[in-house]
Structures are given as C-alpha cells and as structure tokens.
A and B are shown apart, each in its own frame.
Chain A
Amino acid sequence: MTAALLEVEDLRAGYGSVPVLQGVSFSVAEGETAVMFGLNGAGKSTTVNTIAGLLKTWGGQVRFDGSPLTGLSTTEIVKRGISLSPEGRRVFPQLSVRTNLELGSWTRRSVQKEQMAKVFSYFPRLEERVDQLAGTLSGGEQQMLAIGRALMSKPRLLLIDEASLGLSPKLTQTVFQVVDQINDDGTTVVIVEQNVGVLPYADQALVMQKGTITFDGRGSDLHETGDLRAAYLG
C-alpha cells in the first residue's frame, strides 16, 4: 500500500450546536478509489463537506499529503488539490456549460485549457452542449458537468457526493466507468454512493453509521462478508 494522501483523524463537525460527526477516522492511499456507503443522515455529506472546507472542523483533523487542512478556506483547499462534486449537483443554472467549467479552474487558471480538453474526453456530451445553459441540461448531464467542473482545478483528490442519484442504470454505469478512468489517470477518488454497483470499481470501502466509520476495508471484503447488508439494515 502506498502512502496515504488523505488522513482523517477523529474528525468532529456538525451544524449549529448539533454534532453529526462523532470522531470519524479513515485514510485513503494515493491513487486509490474509496467508496463510502451509509444510510440517509449517517453523515457522509457532512464528512466530505468538512474535508472540502465548507463546514468548520470542531475537533480532530484532516491531513492532506501530510499537512493539516484545519482552518483553511475552501479557496486554499482547492488550491492544494482537493475538489468536490457536491450532493445535488449544484451547477450554475444560468451560466453556460463552458462558463461552469471555466469557473471550476477559478483557483488555477493555468490548467484551464488542458483540463477542459480532458473533461471533454471523459464526457463528450458536455462538449456538444458547451454553449447551453447548465440549468437546461438533463439531470445526468448536470451530474457530468458537476464532476467535470470539479476536475477543472486538476485535483489530486476528487470527492464525489452521490454520483448516481436520479440516473438511469445505464448512465450510472457510464459515470462509474468515467470515474474509474479518472482514477486510472492518477486522481485519487472518494465517492459517496448508495448504489452498490460502484463496488467493482472501488479499492477501498467505508461504511458510515451515525457519525462514525463502522467498516473500513478492501472493497472485495465488504462484498464477501455481508457487512454492507449489516450496515444498511442497521
């Protein structure tokens, strides 16, 4: 196993005065794909949002490539090489596909051209619709755009929150395959999913329950031991 790119250590965070993450710990090795499962409300989005700097860390810490991210702004975190494709897609609806993508390289304009070409090679559909307003794209196309936009900063770590939500089984497979390809091209990926169809593409599997990690192992182990069933049935 190679060195860990992302190390989450006893992470605590929440909303207002309500704690959600009750000490989350896991690490992801450089070049791997980790998938995180868990029931609705388990704290998966809270975890990736805290890593991306959208939420304040209450306790514990996140280390990226060895250095702690505590207290850094989202701008700084994106610059260091972490990029999030947030839950619910959240594209800029009244801006064109092109402008959405360009905004993705807000912190690193020098890589814009190169990454745009890369995104179009992963998602040719986006290139066909480059001048269309993002809000008029189909749900699946918006999901591609959200992932594409996250790639525009040339991240070392890509966080994807719910890639398959609302997508047809066929498109879900396509998106998973592209994510696999992105990973093959050298980007470390953490993907939050409800769809177990992602497992064949994952090196590492995590299960989150009530704000803590209850399973952390190889993707193949999760399949065999039935831990996943346990996680989902509580």
Chain B
Amino acid sequence: MHVVADTFSPQLHLVTPLISGLADGAAYGLFGLGLVLLYKSNRIFNFAQGEFATVAAIVAFLFDRGVGWVPKVPYFIAITFGVLAAVLVAMATERLVIRPLFHRPRVVLVVATVGVALFLVGVEGLLPYPQTASLRTISDALGVRSYLTQVDGVVVLDQDVAKLIVLAVLAVLAFLFFRYTHTGTAILAVSQDATAARVVGISVERVSMATWAIAGFLGGVAGVLLAVPPSGSVTPGAFTGLTLVVAFSAAVLGGMTSLPGAFVGGILIGLINAFANADHSFVPGLNSLPTSQAEVAVALVLLLVLLVRPRGLLGREA
C-alpha cells in the first residue's frame, strides 16, 4: 500500500498503517514461531517453512473447491486437511532429509532445507489446479460480511483479526508447551546437548520428529490463514518468495530463540513496513527515498536492534 498526502491525515498516516501493519505482522509472527521452534531445537534456519504453508494452502484449496478427483468437503475440514498435509510434509522432511544429515555441519542442513523448499515448489507447480486462485476467507466460508467493524472509516477485516488471535493463542501455547510439558522440555534438552539427552534416555529421533511435526503444524496454520484475498494466493512458492524473508527478519529481531520474541518481532516488522509505506512527509528524509523505503526502514531497525542487542529483543542466548 502506498499512499501520499501533503498534510498529516490521521486516517492515512495512523489508522490505515496501524491496521494493515498489525495484520501483516501477524503473518510474519506466525511464520516466525515455526522458524524459532526449529532454530531453538535444531539450530537451523528452515527455508522450507514457507512451503509447509503453501502445501497446507493448496491442499485446503483443493478440498474446499473439490478440484479434479479431490472430493469437495466442508471448509473447516478442508483447512484441517491442509494443516495435516503440512504436518506430514514436515515429518517426511525430518525423516528423509534432516535425520540422515543430522551429524553434518549446520550449514549443510540449512542448504538442505533450501533444497526441500525448491523441491516442494517444483512439485506444487506440476499440480493441475488454478495456481493464481486463493483460498476462501473464514468469513466467506461462514457466509458473513468480511468485516465486523471499522475504525475511523478504515475496514478491519475479520481474517486479519483471526490472524492476530490465532498468532497470540499459538504463541502462548508454544510458550506454555516449552515451559510445562515433558515433550517441550525434552526438545530444549536435545537442543542444548543431544548426547546428554540420549544419556538420560530421551529418544533424540522421536523428539526431532515431534519438533518438525509442530513446525509443520505452525506453518500449515499460517498457510490456511494467509492464502486468502485480497493479497494472498495458493501460488507455488508464494510464501517463500514474499513472506519468509521478512519473517526471518522478524524472528531475528525478536531474538531467534524466543517464542514471544517471534510474536513481538513479527508485529513490529509489520508495523514498521506499513508506517514506512504510508509516506510520511513529516519524517525528514524518509519520503525522499524511492518506494522501497519500507524495506530500508525494516533493515535499518533490524541493524540498530542487533547493534545494541545482538541476541535480539527477547533472545536470551547470543
């Protein structure tokens, strides 16, 4: 969104970017949770996280529409199938790619996840379905208006509210999971010392599988929430190209190892992006930049935060 105004307008310069920033931020945060989870446990940047989301969106779309031989099922069942598909793909990634490479340097694993992402984009591209379409929104599926409320004349989309709520709920659940469950503690233990974890009898293989399944779940939820109009689609590679890189910045900003940090970082980056794009003639210097100023602003903030706090806003380890 790129709006220009000569004088300060609360609607253009405040409400609109605030709302769209929160909505985009929720998306980055959702991706960020999955990225942080895998970084925390395996010390890798998972470049396939975007495609876990795409897989979920495509599968949900196929079942929602009933494309080809795929039976048409009710919307909420379709998106459940979508999320399940992402979980399965993530588990297959763990078993077939990550586990055989587990004792290799981390960089090998990171490159392997890039390979998984490219592979998935390729496979998705071969599927016969309308690739530029998008998944229905929740309000569409429920047959209600796409927005329940407006602020100062600016529409607040239900789907955006849903993204924020789901993000907040998942962030809290993930936090509680690591703090209070045996499996959560085991994931932390494996991430800190895999040999010690084996010594106490934890099955490192099972923990790794569980971790990837959860990452697939988080990616899948992000996919079915985000591949909707006006800007989302079920296009192969869409999330990898547009969302993932920003989500990495969000996760790094929040402190790669902190789940609440992924939430905070995501929202912050969404807001910075939106406000920078709103073209404030009253922020000296910024409006003289070309349209990519939003990315510049994001990079600038990221750089500043990392200079002052190398471990990110909420990260605890360097």
Contacts and interface: CB of A to CB of B under 8 A. Distances in A.
B198 A54 contact: yes
A104 B182 CA distance: 12
Contacts of A78: 200-201
Interface string A127-151: 0000000000000000000000110
A90 B196 contact: yes
Interface string A93-124: 11100010011101100000000000000000
Contacts of B195: 54, 86, 90
A92 B196 contact: yes
Contact of B189 (A77, A95, A152): A95
B317 A74 contact: no
A57 interface: no
Interface string B12-27: 0000000000000000
Contact of A75 (B188, B196, B201, B317): B201
A86 B199 contact: yes
| Interface of chain B, main secondary structure | helix
Given A54-B195, A86-B195, A75 B185 contact: no
Contacts, number: 62
Contacts of B198: 54, 74
B186 A106 contact: yes
B200 A149 contact: yes
Contacts of A150: 199
B203 interface: yes
A218 B196 CA distance: 32
B202 interface: yes
Given A94-B317, A99-B185, A104 B200 contact: yes
Given A95-B188, A95-B189, A103-B185, A90 B201 contact: no
Interface string B31-47: 00000000000000000
A181 interface: no
Interface in B129-182: 182
Contacts of B192: 92-95
Contacts of A107: 200-201
B273 to A, nearest CB: 32
Contact of A86 (B188, B196, B201): B196
Q: Which of A86, A92, A99, A104 has the most CB of B within 10 A?
A: A92
B205 to A, nearest CB: 9
Contacts of A84: 199
A100 to B, nearest CB: 9
Nearest to A90: B196
Contacts of A106: 182, 186, 200-202
Interface residues of B, number: 18
Contacts of B199: 52, 54, 74, 84, 86, 90, 150
A90 B193 contact: yes
B188 A92 contact: yes
Nearest to B206: A75
Contacts of B316: 94
Nearest to A104: B200
A173 interface: no
A79 B196 contact: no
A78 B126 CA distance: 48
B201 A92 contact: no
Nearest to B203: A75
A125 B66 CA distance: 65
A150 B317 CA distance: 27
A73 interface: yes
Nearest to B194: A90
Contacts of A126: none
B193 A92 contact: yes
A90 B199 CA distance: 10
Given A54-B195, A86-B195, A86-B196, A94 B201 contact: no
30 contacts: A54-B195, A54-B198, A54-B199, A74-B198, A74-B201, A75-B203, A77-B201, A78-B200, A78-B201, A84-B199, A86-B196, A86-B199, A90-B193, A91-B193, A91-B196, A92-B189, A92-B192, A92-B193, A92-B196, A94-B317, A95-B189, A103-B185, A103-B197, A103-B200, A103-B202, A107-B201, A149-B200, A150-B199, A153-B200, A153-B201
The 6 closest A-B pairs by CB, nearest first: A78-B201, A107-B201, A90-B196, A75-B201, A92-B192, A74-B198
Given A84-B199, A95-B185, 12 more contacts: A78-B201, A90-B196, A92-B189, A92-B192, A92-B193, A93-B192, A95-B192, A102-B185, A103-B197, A103-B200, A107-B200, A150-B199
